[in-house]
Amino acid sequence: MTASAIPGESIDLQIADLLSDVQFPTNKDALVDAAREAGASNEVLSMLDGMPEQDYVDIASVTRLISGNYSPGLGA
């Protein structure tokens, strides 16, 4: 899947697409690894890697955190 290559797709949607196969709950390192394997951009990998070391219960908890730390609509 090359979801990160869709022009104009918001960062939240990119992350949701990239992590759609992840089994939750999971930790930050597993999210970064899954995104890397799915072909995430360096920008997305950097955002995920900057998240706190903790367990995430679902994709919404990840995208909420990303949206809170980066301006809405930030994307490719």
pLDDT of res. 74: 45
Q: Give the integer Cα–Cα distance in Å for 74 and 55.
A: 24
Considering only the C-alpha atoms of the chain, give the largest distance between any 2 of them, rounded to a whole number of Å: 31
C-alpha pair distances (Å), 20 with each of 8, 10, 30, 71: 19, 15, 13, 22
Domain ranges of the chain: 14-69
Q: pTM of whole model > 0.75?
A: yes
Percent of the residues in the chain that have a pLDDT greater than 70, as a whole number:
80
Which tens digits make up the pLDDT trace of 33-70?
999 999 999 999 999 999 999 999 999 999 999 888 76
25/55 Cα distance (integer angstroms): 6
